[in-house]
Structure 1
Amino acid sequence: MSSLIYLQGYPETLLTQVQVLIDQQRLGEVLQKRYPDTHAINSDKALYAYALDLKNRHLRNAAPLNKVAYDNKIKVMKHALGLHTAVSRVQGGKLKAKAEIRVATIFKQAPEAFLRMIVVHELAHIKEKQHNKAFYQLCCHMEPHYHQLEFDTRLWLTEQALHGNVG
Protein backbone atom coordinates (compact mmCIF):
# COMPACT_ATOMS: atom_id res chain seq x y z
CA MET A 1 0.00 0.00 0.00
CA SER A 2 2.81 2.38 -0.88
CA SER A 3 0.32 4.66 -2.68
CA LEU A 4 -1.23 5.53 0.69
CA ILE A 5 1.53 7.81 1.98
CA TYR A 6 -0.96 10.50 3.02
CA LEU A 7 -2.90 8.01 5.14
CA GLN A 8 -0.13 6.71 7.36
CA GLY A 9 -1.31 6.15 10.91
CA TYR A 10 -4.88 5.22 10.00
CA PRO A 11 -6.19 1.73 10.88
CA GLU A 12 -5.32 -1.12 8.51
CA THR A 13 -9.01 -1.88 7.89
CA LEU A 14 -9.56 1.67 6.64
CA LEU A 15 -6.47 1.52 4.43
CA THR A 16 -7.72 -1.73 2.92
CA GLN A 17 -11.03 -0.07 2.02
CA VAL A 18 -9.17 2.82 0.37
CA GLN A 19 -6.93 0.41 -1.53
CA VAL A 20 -10.02 -1.40 -2.86
CA LEU A 21 -11.39 1.94 -4.17
CA ILE A 22 -8.02 2.64 -5.82
CA ASP A 23 -7.86 -0.85 -7.36
CA GLN A 24 -11.39 -0.38 -8.74
CA GLN A 25 -10.40 3.11 -9.96
CA ARG A 26 -13.32 4.57 -8.00
CA LEU A 27 -11.57 6.82 -5.45
CA GLY A 28 -11.88 9.93 -7.63
CA GLU A 29 -15.52 9.15 -8.37
CA VAL A 30 -16.36 8.76 -4.66
CA LEU A 31 -14.65 12.05 -3.80
CA GLN A 32 -16.27 13.86 -6.73
CA LYS A 33 -19.69 12.68 -5.59
CA ARG A 34 -19.05 13.82 -2.00
CA TYR A 35 -17.37 17.12 -2.94
CA PRO A 36 -18.65 18.13 -6.40
CA ASP A 37 -17.74 21.81 -6.27
CA THR A 38 -14.39 23.54 -6.41
CA HIS A 39 -13.96 27.13 -5.25
CA ALA A 40 -13.11 30.47 -6.82
CA ILE A 41 -10.53 31.51 -4.20
CA ASN A 42 -7.65 31.64 -6.66
CA SER A 43 -5.76 34.78 -5.68
CA ASP A 44 -3.80 35.63 -2.55
CA LYS A 45 -6.16 38.55 -1.96
CA ALA A 46 -9.21 36.27 -2.04
CA LEU A 47 -7.46 33.73 0.20
CA TYR A 48 -6.61 36.47 2.71
CA ALA A 49 -10.26 37.62 2.77
CA TYR A 50 -11.42 34.01 3.19
CA ALA A 51 -9.03 33.35 6.10
CA LEU A 52 -9.80 36.70 7.73
CA ASP A 53 -13.53 35.94 7.61
CA LEU A 54 -12.96 32.59 9.36
CA LYS A 55 -10.65 34.22 11.90
CA ASN A 56 -13.13 37.01 12.66
CA ARG A 57 -15.94 34.50 13.14
CA HIS A 58 -14.07 32.16 15.45
CA LEU A 59 -10.90 33.80 16.79
CA ARG A 60 -11.73 37.47 17.32
CA ASN A 61 -9.25 37.87 20.18
CA ALA A 62 -6.33 36.18 18.42
CA ALA A 63 -3.40 38.08 16.96
CA PRO A 64 -4.15 39.81 13.65
CA LEU A 65 -3.31 38.11 10.36
CA ASN A 66 -0.72 40.03 8.39
CA LYS A 67 -0.47 37.83 5.33
CA VAL A 68 -2.23 34.83 3.81
CA ALA A 69 -1.00 33.50 0.49
CA TYR A 70 -0.73 30.48 -1.75
CA ASP A 71 2.82 29.17 -1.87
CA ASN A 72 4.07 26.96 -4.69
CA LYS A 73 7.23 26.19 -2.71
CA ILE A 74 5.34 24.11 -0.14
CA LYS A 75 5.96 20.49 -1.01
CA VAL A 76 2.95 18.39 -0.09
CA MET A 77 5.13 15.28 -0.30
CA LYS A 78 7.07 16.61 2.71
CA HIS A 79 3.83 16.45 4.74
CA ALA A 80 3.14 20.18 4.64
CA LEU A 81 -0.24 21.36 3.36
CA GLY A 82 0.07 24.80 4.80
CA LEU A 83 2.44 26.76 7.01
CA HIS A 84 2.01 29.32 9.74
CA THR A 85 4.68 31.70 10.92
CA ALA A 86 4.80 34.14 13.77
CA VAL A 87 7.56 36.71 13.49
CA SER A 88 8.34 39.04 16.38
CA ARG A 89 10.44 42.16 15.89
CA VAL A 90 11.46 44.97 18.17
CA GLN A 91 10.44 48.35 16.80
CA GLY A 92 11.47 51.16 19.06
CA GLY A 93 10.53 50.09 22.55
CA LYS A 94 7.72 47.77 21.42
CA LEU A 95 7.56 44.17 20.34
CA LYS A 96 5.62 43.77 17.08
CA ALA A 97 4.29 40.35 16.06
CA LYS A 98 3.24 39.30 12.57
CA ALA A 99 1.21 36.20 11.81
CA GLU A 100 1.37 34.67 8.32
CA ILE A 101 -0.35 31.69 6.75
CA ARG A 102 0.77 29.99 3.56
CA VAL A 103 -1.28 27.34 1.76
CA ALA A 104 0.07 24.87 -0.79
CA THR A 105 -0.86 25.97 -4.32
CA ILE A 106 -2.49 22.60 -5.11
CA PHE A 107 -5.45 23.72 -2.99
CA LYS A 108 -6.41 26.24 -5.68
CA GLN A 109 -7.96 23.25 -7.49
CA ALA A 110 -9.33 21.52 -4.40
CA PRO A 111 -12.91 21.45 -3.18
CA GLU A 112 -13.66 24.41 -0.91
CA ALA A 113 -14.11 22.13 2.10
CA PHE A 114 -10.48 20.99 1.84
CA LEU A 115 -9.21 24.55 1.57
CA ARG A 116 -11.32 25.45 4.62
CA MET A 117 -9.80 22.54 6.57
CA ILE A 118 -6.25 23.74 5.79
CA VAL A 119 -7.05 27.36 6.69
CA VAL A 120 -8.78 26.30 9.93
CA HIS A 121 -5.74 24.17 10.81
CA GLU A 122 -3.33 27.05 10.26
CA LEU A 123 -5.58 29.53 12.08
CA ALA A 124 -5.69 27.21 15.08
CA HIS A 125 -1.89 27.44 15.25
CA ILE A 126 -2.23 31.16 16.02
CA LYS A 127 -3.58 30.19 19.46
CA GLU A 128 -2.20 26.67 19.91
CA LYS A 129 1.31 26.00 18.62
CA GLN A 130 1.36 22.22 19.20
CA HIS A 131 -0.88 19.50 17.78
CA ASN A 132 -2.41 18.71 21.15
CA LYS A 133 -5.93 18.16 22.47
CA ALA A 134 -6.63 21.90 22.78
CA PHE A 135 -5.46 22.42 19.20
CA TYR A 136 -7.85 19.83 17.78
CA GLN A 137 -10.70 21.10 19.97
CA LEU A 138 -10.14 24.55 18.47
CA CYS A 139 -10.12 23.09 14.95
CA CYS A 140 -13.42 21.31 15.68
CA HIS A 141 -14.85 24.53 17.13
CA MET A 142 -14.12 26.35 13.86
CA GLU A 143 -15.07 23.39 11.64
CA PRO A 144 -17.27 20.72 13.31
CA HIS A 145 -16.40 18.16 10.57
CA TYR A 146 -12.67 18.85 10.84
CA HIS A 147 -11.53 15.25 11.30
CA GLN A 148 -13.63 13.94 8.40
CA LEU A 149 -12.39 16.76 6.17
CA GLU A 150 -8.78 16.03 7.15
CA PHE A 151 -9.24 12.38 6.19
CA ASP A 152 -11.02 13.24 2.94
CA THR A 153 -8.30 15.78 2.10
CA ARG A 154 -5.75 13.00 2.51
CA LEU A 155 -7.86 10.80 0.20
CA TRP A 156 -7.98 13.63 -2.34
CA LEU A 157 -4.20 14.06 -2.14
CA THR A 158 -3.81 10.30 -2.64
CA GLU A 159 -5.97 10.54 -5.77
CA GLN A 160 -3.99 13.55 -7.02
CA ALA A 161 -0.71 11.67 -6.46
CA LEU A 162 -2.00 8.68 -8.43
CA HIS A 163 -2.46 11.02 -11.40
CA GLY A 164 0.87 12.78 -10.91
CA ASN A 165 -0.66 16.08 -9.77
CA VAL A 166 1.21 16.33 -6.45
CA GLY A 167 4.89 17.03 -6.02
Structure 2
Amino acid sequence: MNSALKYIAHYPAPLQEQVVGLIEKQQLAPHLARKYPARHQIQTDKALYEYASALKKDYLRNAPPLAKVQYDGKLNTVQHALGLNTQIARVQGNKLKSKNEIRIATLFRTTAPEFLRMIVVHELAHLKVKAHDKAFYQLCQHMEPHYLQYEFDLRLHLIALELGLVDGEARG
Protein backbone atom coordinates (compact mmCIF):
# COMPACT_ATOMS: atom_id res chain seq x y z
CA MET A 1 0.00 0.00 0.00
CA ASN A 2 2.88 2.40 0.72
CA SER A 3 3.86 2.55 -2.95
CA ALA A 4 0.29 3.54 -3.87
CA LEU A 5 0.48 6.45 -1.43
CA LYS A 6 3.17 8.04 -3.62
CA TYR A 7 0.39 10.03 -5.29
CA ILE A 8 -0.27 11.94 -2.05
CA ALA A 9 3.24 11.81 -0.54
CA HIS A 10 3.56 15.61 -0.55
CA TYR A 11 0.28 16.13 1.34
CA PRO A 12 0.24 16.57 5.14
CA ALA A 13 0.53 13.41 7.27
CA PRO A 14 -2.94 13.77 8.85
CA LEU A 15 -4.52 13.82 5.38
CA GLN A 16 -2.52 10.77 4.34
CA GLU A 17 -3.68 9.00 7.51
CA GLN A 18 -7.31 9.75 6.60
CA VAL A 19 -6.76 8.16 3.20
CA VAL A 20 -5.16 5.10 4.78
CA GLY A 21 -8.19 4.86 7.08
CA LEU A 22 -10.54 4.92 4.09
CA ILE A 23 -8.51 2.19 2.42
CA GLU A 24 -8.43 0.01 5.54
CA LYS A 25 -12.21 0.37 5.97
CA GLN A 26 -12.66 -0.39 2.25
CA GLN A 27 -14.36 2.97 1.81
CA LEU A 28 -12.06 4.73 -0.66
CA ALA A 29 -13.66 3.38 -3.86
CA PRO A 30 -17.25 3.82 -2.59
CA HIS A 31 -16.41 7.37 -1.48
CA LEU A 32 -15.09 8.25 -4.93
CA ALA A 33 -18.01 6.52 -6.68
CA ARG A 34 -20.50 8.57 -4.65
CA LYS A 35 -18.63 11.80 -5.28
CA TYR A 36 -18.07 11.20 -9.02
CA PRO A 37 -20.85 8.91 -10.33
CA ALA A 38 -20.94 10.21 -13.91
CA ARG A 39 -18.71 9.29 -16.87
CA HIS A 40 -17.99 11.66 -19.72
CA GLN A 41 -18.82 10.87 -23.33
CA ILE A 42 -15.62 12.23 -24.91
CA GLN A 43 -14.33 9.01 -26.43
CA THR A 44 -12.58 9.97 -29.67
CA ASP A 45 -9.51 12.07 -30.33
CA LYS A 46 -11.67 14.41 -32.42
CA ALA A 47 -14.11 14.94 -29.55
CA LEU A 48 -11.18 15.47 -27.16
CA TYR A 49 -9.67 18.05 -29.53
CA GLU A 50 -12.99 19.90 -29.75
CA TYR A 51 -13.38 19.81 -25.95
CA ALA A 52 -9.88 21.18 -25.35
CA SER A 53 -10.28 23.78 -28.09
CA ALA A 54 -13.53 25.04 -26.55
CA LEU A 55 -11.85 25.43 -23.15
CA LYS A 56 -8.90 27.17 -24.78
CA LYS A 57 -11.24 29.52 -26.64
CA ASP A 58 -13.07 30.39 -23.41
CA TYR A 59 -10.00 31.02 -21.27
CA LEU A 60 -6.83 31.29 -23.34
CA ARG A 61 -7.67 33.20 -26.50
CA ASN A 62 -4.16 34.60 -26.87
CA ALA A 63 -2.40 31.28 -26.31
CA PRO A 64 -0.79 29.54 -29.25
CA PRO A 65 -3.12 27.32 -31.30
CA LEU A 66 -3.41 23.59 -30.70
CA ALA A 67 -2.28 21.38 -33.56
CA LYS A 68 -3.38 18.12 -31.97
CA VAL A 69 -5.12 16.81 -28.86
CA GLN A 70 -5.41 13.07 -28.44
CA TYR A 71 -5.59 10.17 -26.06
CA ASP A 72 -2.29 8.34 -25.68
CA GLY A 73 -2.12 4.75 -24.47
CA LYS A 74 1.62 5.07 -23.84
CA LEU A 75 1.21 7.60 -21.05
CA ASN A 76 0.88 6.11 -17.61
CA THR A 77 1.40 6.94 -14.00
CA VAL A 78 4.71 5.05 -13.89
CA GLN A 79 6.11 7.92 -15.92
CA HIS A 80 4.24 10.33 -13.63
CA ALA A 81 2.54 11.68 -16.72
CA LEU A 82 -1.21 11.79 -17.07
CA GLY A 83 -0.96 14.27 -19.88
CA LEU A 84 1.76 15.85 -21.95
CA ASN A 85 1.99 19.23 -23.56
CA THR A 86 4.63 19.25 -26.25
CA GLN A 87 5.81 21.95 -28.57
CA ILE A 88 7.24 20.60 -31.79
CA ALA A 89 9.53 23.00 -33.64
CA ARG A 90 10.27 22.61 -37.33
CA VAL A 91 12.42 24.69 -39.62
CA GLN A 92 10.57 25.91 -42.69
CA GLY A 93 12.81 27.97 -44.90
CA ASN A 94 14.39 30.62 -42.72
CA LYS A 95 11.60 30.45 -40.10
CA LEU A 96 11.11 28.26 -37.08
CA LYS A 97 7.50 27.06 -36.88
CA SER A 98 6.14 25.37 -33.79
CA LYS A 99 3.05 23.28 -33.10
CA ASN A 100 1.49 22.61 -29.72
CA GLU A 101 0.22 19.12 -29.02
CA ILE A 102 -1.56 17.74 -25.98
CA ARG A 103 -1.67 14.05 -25.20
CA ILE A 104 -3.96 12.73 -22.48
CA ALA A 105 -3.51 9.32 -20.85
CA THR A 106 -6.06 6.83 -22.13
CA LEU A 107 -7.28 6.12 -18.59
CA PHE A 108 -9.19 9.43 -18.83
CA ARG A 109 -11.41 7.98 -21.57
CA THR A 110 -13.59 6.28 -18.98
CA THR A 111 -13.35 8.53 -15.97
CA ALA A 112 -15.42 11.23 -14.36
CA PRO A 113 -15.88 14.40 -16.43
CA GLU A 114 -14.32 16.41 -13.59
CA PHE A 115 -11.08 14.43 -13.87
CA LEU A 116 -10.92 14.87 -17.64
CA ARG A 117 -11.56 18.59 -17.28
CA MET A 118 -8.86 18.88 -14.61
CA ILE A 119 -6.21 17.20 -16.75
CA VAL A 120 -7.15 19.16 -19.89
CA VAL A 121 -7.09 22.43 -17.92
CA HIS A 122 -3.69 21.44 -16.54
CA GLU A 123 -2.26 20.83 -19.99
CA LEU A 124 -3.84 23.96 -21.46
CA ALA A 125 -2.35 26.05 -18.66
CA HIS A 126 1.08 24.90 -19.84
CA LEU A 127 0.48 26.82 -23.07
CA LYS A 128 0.87 30.01 -21.02
CA VAL A 129 2.94 28.94 -17.98
CA LYS A 130 5.51 26.16 -18.33
CA ALA A 131 6.48 25.69 -14.66
CA HIS A 132 4.27 24.33 -11.91
CA ASP A 133 4.41 27.55 -9.93
CA LYS A 134 1.93 29.88 -8.25
CA ALA A 135 0.97 31.55 -11.55
CA PHE A 136 0.35 28.15 -13.12
CA TYR A 137 -2.02 26.99 -10.38
CA GLN A 138 -3.79 30.36 -10.34
CA LEU A 139 -4.45 29.96 -14.07
CA CYS A 140 -5.69 26.39 -13.52
CA GLN A 141 -8.07 27.62 -10.83
CA HIS A 142 -9.24 30.45 -13.08
CA MET A 143 -10.21 27.90 -15.73
CA GLU A 144 -11.61 25.41 -13.19
CA PRO A 145 -12.43 26.81 -9.74
CA HIS A 146 -12.45 23.29 -8.20
CA TYR A 147 -9.13 22.35 -9.81
CA LEU A 148 -7.28 21.60 -6.56
CA GLN A 149 -10.06 19.38 -5.21
CA TYR A 150 -10.32 17.49 -8.50
CA GLU A 151 -6.56 17.02 -8.57
CA PHE A 152 -6.56 15.59 -5.04
CA ASP A 153 -9.51 13.31 -5.77
CA LEU A 154 -7.84 12.14 -8.96
CA ARG A 155 -4.81 11.19 -6.87
CA LEU A 156 -7.14 9.16 -4.65
CA HIS A 157 -8.56 7.53 -7.76
CA LEU A 158 -5.05 6.58 -8.90
CA ILE A 159 -4.41 5.01 -5.48
CA ALA A 160 -7.64 3.03 -5.79
CA LEU A 161 -6.66 1.87 -9.30
CA GLU A 162 -3.20 0.81 -8.17
CA LEU A 163 -4.57 -1.09 -5.20
CA GLY A 164 -7.13 -2.83 -7.42
CA LEU A 165 -10.05 -1.26 -5.55
CA VAL A 166 -11.62 -0.19 -8.86
CA ASP A 167 -11.26 -1.78 -12.25
CA GLY A 168 -9.15 -0.42 -15.09
CA GLU A 169 -12.25 1.18 -16.53
CA ALA A 170 -11.75 3.96 -13.98
CA ARG A 171 -14.93 3.78 -11.92
CA GLY A 172 -14.12 6.56 -9.49
Give the TM-score taking structure 2 as reference length.
Answer: 0.92
Aligned to 2:14: 13
Aligned to 1:86: 87
Q: Which amino acid aligns with 1:140?
A: Q
Task: Determine whether 1:165 maps to 2:165.
Answer: no
* Cα distance between partner residues in 2 of 1:73 and 1:150: 21
Name structure 2 gaps, 5 residues minimum: none
Shift of residue 109, structure 1, vs aligned partner: 1.3
Sequence identity percentage? 56
Q: Deviations over 1:59-103 (max 9, x none)?
A: 011000000010010121221110010112221233211000000
Q: Secondary structure at the match of 1:155?
A: helix
Give the TM-score taking structure 1 as reference length.
Answer: 0.95
Alignment of 1:108-119 (within 5 A): 108-119=109-120
Aligned to 1:47: 48
Shift of residue 165, structure 1, vs aligned partner: 3.4
Task: Determine whether 1:38 maps to 2:20.
Answer: no
RMSD: 1.3
* Cα distance between partner residues in 2 of 1:152 and 1:6: 10
* Cα distance between partner residues in 2 of 1:85 and 1:8: 27
* Cα distance between partner residues in 2 of 1:165 and 1:15: 23
* Cα distance between partner residues in 1 of 2:135 and 2:118: 17
Q: Which amino acid aligns with 2:168?
A: N
Q: Deviations over 1:33-58 (max 9, x none)?
A: 11110111111111101100100000
Aligned to 2:123: 122
Name structure 1 gaps, 5 residues minimum: none
Shift of residue 4, structure 1, vs aligned partner: 1.1
Aligned to 2:151: 150
Q: Secondary structure at the match of 2:102?
A: strand
Aligned to 1:135: 136
* Cα distance between partner residues in 2 of 1:95 and 1:144: 36
Aligned to 2:27: 26
Q: Secondary structure at the match of 1:4?
A: helix
* Cα distance between partner residues in 2 of 1:165 and 1:14: 25
Q: Which amino acid aligns with 1:159?
A: A
* Cα distance between partner residues in 1 of 2:9 and 2:111: 21
* Cα distance between partner residues in 1 of 2:19 and 2:132: 25
Shift of residue 20, structure 1, vs aligned partner: 0.6
